[in-house]
A and B are shown apart, each in its own frame.
Chain A
Amino acid sequence: MSVDQLGRRRLLQGSVAGGLMVAIGPLGASAVPGEAGGQELQSWVRIARDGAVTVLSNTSEIGQGTGTAIAQILADELDLDWRRISLAMAPLDKRYFNPNWGEYGTYGSGGVAYQLAPLRRAGAQARAMLIAAAAREWQVAASECDTDSGDVIHRASGRRAAYGLLVEQAARQPVPTDAPLMPRERLRYIGRDIPRLDLPAKTDGSAVYGIDVRMPGLLSAAIVQCPVFGGRLAGVDRAPAMRMPGVRQVVLLGDAVAVVADSYWRAQKAVDALQPRWDLKRAKRPDSARYMAALHKAVQGDGATFPPAKTTAAQVKVRYAQATRRARRSVERTYAVPFLAHATMEPMNATAVVSQDRAELWVPTQSQTGTQNAVAQLLGLPVSAVTVNTTLAGGGFGRRMELDFALQAVHIAKACGAPVKLIWNRAQDIQHDFYRPAAVVKVTAGVDGDGMPVALRIDSACQSIFQHSRLGEWSKWSRPVDSSAVGDLPDWYPLAALKVQVTTVDVGVPVGFWRSVAATQNVFAFECLIDELAHEARSDPMAYRRKLLPAGGREQRVLDLLAERSSWHRGPAPGRHRGMAFSRANGSLVGHVVELSVDAQRAVQLHQVWTVIDCGTAVNPHNIRAQVEGCIVFALSAAFHGDITLSGGAVMQSNFHDYRLLGLAATPKMDVQIVENWEKPGGAGEEAVGGLTPALVNALFAATGQRIRELPLAKAGFSI
């Protein structure tokens, strides 16, 4: 047993506020620097005296439903009555830092994957404290007590007490370090298709997103940013805007102009009336064609070699050289992908109130800690003077990890001394994203006498996400080799040697994390090449991959279930064609089969996608299937249409007519299966994106005999 004074005080405060604040054991010292040895406690559940339970989620709701999963985990360990549970965002406090990130943020598919174990422990501790409180009240041994869906019970005497009545005593109990986890046979929520807690409010218009924030005296702002990346504002005549109705102020930012008005529409009309002059002297002004040519050139040279954990670049090179000596021949293919926008349905926005010594924000964000720190730095305030409230987000996909829109709102709110909600229009959103980097990926396989790869080399060239995202906070990880261009190393096939070399070619285009990140280019290249090798070896692509994977492992199990679900060995109906791909990401294994047909005009009809995911413990299988379905549509939009192009350093697309998304009519049937197990959880929100594109492109090869190595498919004349 151990309770530290600070934690104890917090618990008591929690109980005064009307509920038990459940303590979670201290995080590892590495996760929260300076917080070693139980100095900080985390609190996840409030139980009111009437038994109502509020579960606090530290994971932004960007569509992925993690809050419900967190509630399921705590409900099981605490033995709660699901009907009494509601969900709220946890405040921005160290107690709620994701243990793997050491900050409050939502990315890397880490909401469940890194928190299942600590949340279970926290729930178990709270349950033990409730039992201890009841046992003390009844003067019986805690070991004689149990729980039953929101009550503590003492079977011998038939006594029963609701959590709500025990909560104040429970908060005074020491936090046990050895509370037993709920045995698997008593789990009622983890692993079940529990309806998401956030969905009812999303069917009647009552859900409040960032763009919906309202408060007394709130003004609206619209913005125009320099269309050329790296350009600055040289000047602007404010008069055309100031003459317009409802306009309060024109605010000049370093690379943008904002107008504040009493309604968004008036602000936007007034921004549209401005003719800012831009200073482009320092802008690099790239064009897409020239930039792609530079990337193609870069992969012909030797980039920096990526050293996997516990290896050096020198060792990688030696192993690769040795392995290639066993190869009979070499197969080299080069793949190219464009910049891509996130295009969340809710455009970027943020609401801020700034006073002399405080700032408060309401933001649909994936980076609470990052936003708080950056705002504090901008205003010269201590971090504690900046409050960040997380709203619902109309999509995230990595875009809302960035801080740009929140910092703009703070600038504007400070300038006009009133609460301001900044809303970007769609053109601003498409033209000022942090894009999935355009990339060229050259894959070289050394193939043995049996047609199997023994050595693999990947040369990639792109901009570094780590140099651009979050104001360059992580740029140290871009040197000497940019690990954001590598992502999950494609080592799920245990080849003798794998060498990854990266060249960073920067032209000043903001790039960021885009659902599944580097897998979107690397898995595309890698799994298309594997398909070519299978074809050259006259092997079935499923059997070829199976042979490459560890015998009897989880990977083969995914493929076997995929083959079974898709009736792979029976093959498609006449006129239909299939392709497949397999990959691993964030601890999850994913296999896809795509079935399609192509007509003489290259119009593609997608008939069905079969997907199998092994993401370890599946806390909410129904929701995981929904995420996989979303990944499939996300990848299809990019594969067929996605293309952000640059001319003179400006993005040429501006809305959904020229940055198209897949619609309902083109969406194929989907069969998504989850491998059931209780392994360590992996990610589920983005892991099915990377492999879908190669599966699709491999199916197009089956249909047309053509290997597509450049995206989007529209460039090769395919339509959907």
Chain B
Amino acid sequence: MPYSISVNGQLRQANVEAETPLLWVLRDTLGLTGTKFGCGAGLCGACSVQLDGQITRSCMVPISAVGAARVVTIEGLSPDRSHRLQQAWIAEQVPQCGYCQSGMLMAADALLKATPQPTDADIAAAMTNLCRCGTYNRVRRAIKRAAGLPVEAA
């Protein structure tokens, strides 16, 4: 089936089966490999992208359900790593292996859009992505830094 979806502000075409997850359309059809495959079951969040600003696990969304929603992936966060979260991620040296971090950043961006001054509890509730390297405390600090909130010492 031919589909036309909006990804990072551009209309993109994909001729795939209707049940093909958005994740694999992004990765295999459109070559946007920044969005990662982790579990295929909506459990880990490595594949998180935004659909109309809402954080979404793209492994659980069939291409047929995307419709006119505007998809934003890690490649669309900024053209030059200038997004405040990307800068905060470097300032706090968040990533280790980095594999989950695209999803973390997309989730963090959705959080700050909805809650510009998140509390620890807000961050804990929103950031359910799994990180096997254990970067969680740095993720928390980087979100606060990006939000302009005081960051406790490392």
CB contacts (< 8 Å) of A622 on chain B: these are 93, 154
A426 close to B41 (CB less than 8 A) = yes
Chain B 68-80 against A: per-residue CB contact (8 Å), 1 yes, 0 no?
0000011101100
Chain A residues, Cβ within 8 Å of B17: 245, 266, 269
Are B93 and A626 in contact (CB-based, < 8 A)? yes
Q: Is B31 an interface residue (CB 8 A)?
A: yes
**Inter-subunit contact B140/A203 (CB<8 Å):** no
Q: A208-B33, A264-B24 are in contact. Are A345 and B131 (CB under 8 A)?
A: yes
Most chain A CB neighbours (cut-off 10 Å) among B32, B129, B130: B130
User: Which residues 5-32 of B have a CB within 8 angstroms of A?
Assistant: 16-17, 20-21, 24, 27-29, 31-32
State how many angstroms separate the Cβ of A430 from the closest Cβ of chain B. Answer: 10
Which one of A58-66, A366-374, A495-503 contacts B? Answer: A58-66
In the complex with contacts A200-B90, A265-B28, A626-B96 CB distance below 8 A: yes
Question: What 0/1 readout, one digit per residue, does chain A (609-634) give for beta carbons within 8 Å of chain B?
Answer: 00000000000001101110111111
- Chain B residues contacting A211 (CB-CB under 8 Å) are 33, 36-37
Report Cα–Cα, A695/B143, bound state, in Å. Answer: 30
A656 touches B43 (CB 8 A): yes
A395 and B97 within 8 A (CB): yes
In the complex, how many angstroms separate the beta carbon of A388 from the nearest chain B beta carbon? Answer: 19
* Given A345-B131, A622-B93, A625-B154, residue A265 in contact with residue B77 (CB < 8 A): no
A664 touches B74 (CB 8 A): no
Whether B148 is near chain A, meaning CB under 8 Å from some CB there, is: no
B133 and A205: CB pair below 8 A? no
Question: B131-145: contact bitstring with A at CB < 8 Å (1 yes, 0 no)?
Answer: 111111111100000
B51 close to A (CB within 8 Å): no
Contacts of B78 in A (CB 8 A): 204
Which residues on the B side are within 8 Å of A203 (C-beta)?
A: 81, 86, 89-90, 94-95, 98, 101, 105
Given contacts A199-B90, A209-B99, whether A626 and B138 have CB atoms under 8 Å apart is yes
Cβ distance B32 to chain A, nearest Cβ, rounded Å: 7
Which chain A positions have C-beta within 8 A of B44?
345, 656
Smallest Cβ distance from B109 to chain A, in angstroms? 12
Across the interface, A669 reaches (CB within 8 A) one of B20, B40, B43, B137, namely: B137
Q: Residue of A at shortest CB range from B24?
A: A265
Query: Does B123 lie at the interface of the complex (its beta carbon under 8 Å from any beta carbon of A)?
Result: yes
B100 at the A/B interface (Cβ < 8 Å)?
A: yes
- Which residues in A have their C-beta under 8 angstroms from that of B27? 212, 264
B151 within 8 A of A: no
Contact B28 A263 (CB under 8 A): yes
Indicate whether A551 reaches chain B with its CB closer than 8 angstroms: no
Whether B98 and A392, one on each chain, are in contact in the complex, defined by CB atoms closer than 8 angstroms, is yes
Contacts of B139 in A (CB 8 A): 664
In the docked arrangement, what's the CA distance between A663 and B131, Å? 7
B26: min CB distance to chain A, Å: 10
CB distance B34 to A204 under 8 Å?
yes
- CB-contacts of A195-240 with B (<8 A): 195-196, 198-209, 211-212, 214, 220
Please tell me if the beta carbons of B133 and A265 are within 8 angstroms of each other in the complex: no
Chain B residues 43-65 with CB under 8 Å of chain A are: 43-44, 46
Given A264-B28, A395-B133, A631-B134: A655 touches B41 (CB 8 Å cut-off):
yes
Cβ B96 vs Cβ A661 within 8 A: no
Is B39 close to A, CB under 8 A? Answer: yes
Q: Taking the complex as formed, is A161 at the interface, i.e. its CB lies under 8 A from any CB of chain B?
A: no
Inter-chain contacts of A661 with B (CB < 8 A)? 130, 132
Report if B147 contacts A (CB, 8 A).
no
Given contacts A634-B134, A667-B134, contact A394 B97 (CB under 8 A): yes
A667:B136 contact, CB within 8 angstroms: yes
Question: Knowing A195-B90, A347-B37, A664-B128 touch, does A633 contact B136 (C-beta < 8 A)?
Answer: yes
Select the residue from B21, B40, B46, B95 with max chain A CB neighbours within 10 A.
B95
Q: B16, B77, B127, B132: which contacts A204 (Cβ < 8 A)? A: B77
Find chain B residues with CB under 8 A from A346 CB: 36, 38, 97, 99
CB-based contact B134/A62 at 8 Å? no
CB nearest neighbor in A for B44: A656
B137 and A630 contact, CB distance less than 8 A: no
Query: Which residues on the B side are within 8 Å of A214 (C-beta)?
Result: 31, 33
Expressed in whole angstroms, the Cα–Cα distance for A345 and B77 within the complex equals 22
CA distance A214 to B78 in the complex (A): 23
A609 to chain B minimum Cβ distance, whole angstroms, is 10
Cβ A394 vs Cβ B99 within 8 A: yes
Which residues of chain B have C-beta atoms less than 8 A from A282's C-beta? none
**A202 x B136 contact (CB < 8 A):** no
Tell me the bound Cα distance from A395 to B130 in angstroms. Answer: 12
Contact between B124 and A664, CB atoms less than 8 A apart: yes
A208 to nearest B CB, angstroms?
7
Decide: A626 and B33 in contact? CB cutoff 8 A. Answer: no
**Does A670 interact with chain B (Cβ within 8 Å)?**
yes
Q: Is A212 in contact with B33, judged by CB distance below 8 angstroms?
A: yes
In the complex, A395→B139 CA distance in Å?
Answer: 17
* Neighbouring A residues of B36 by C-beta, 8 Å: 209, 211, 345-346, 394
Asked if A202 and B43 make an inter-chain contact with CB atoms under 8 angstroms apart, the answer reads no
The answer on a CB contact under 8 Å between B134 and A423 is no
| A63 and B96 form a contact (CB under 8 A) | yes
Smallest Cβ distance from A668 to chain B, in angstroms? 8
Contacts of B35 in A (CB 8 A): 205
A200 CB contacts on chain B under 8 angstroms: 81, 90
Indicate which residue in B33, B98, B128 contacts A202 across the interface (CB closer than 8 Å): B98
Q: Collect the chain A residues with CB atoms within 8 Å of residue B124's CB.
A: 664-665
CB distance from B92 to the nearest CB of A (A): 10
Tell me the bound Cα distance from A83 to B18 in angstroms.
48
**Bound-complex Cα distance A489 to B46 (A):** 38
Q: Write out the residue numbers on chain B whose beta carbons fall within 8 Å of the beta carbon of A396.
A: 97
- B99 & A395 in contact (Cβ 8 Å cutoff): yes
Pair A345/B46 contact, Cβ less than 8 Å: yes
Distance in angstroms between the alpha carbons of A229 and B35 in the assembled complex: 33
Apart from A208-B33, A345-B38, A663-B130, what 13 extra A-B contacts exist at CB < 8 Å? A63-B97, A199-B94, A202-B95, A204-B78, A214-B33, A265-B16, A346-B36, A622-B93, A630-B135, A632-B134, A634-B132, A656-B44, A664-B128
Q: Which 7 A-B pairs have the closest CB atoms?
A: A205-B34, A633-B134, A394-B99, A202-B98, A63-B97, A205-B74, A63-B96
User: Can you list 27 residue pairs at the A/B interface with Cβ under 8 Å?
Assistant: A64-B96, A65-B96, A198-B98, A200-B90, A203-B89, A203-B90, A205-B33, A205-B74, A211-B37, A220-B28, A264-B37, A265-B28, A345-B36, A345-B38, A394-B98, A394-B99, A426-B40, A622-B154, A626-B135, A629-B138, A634-B134, A656-B130, A662-B136, A663-B130, A667-B137, A669-B137, A672-B154
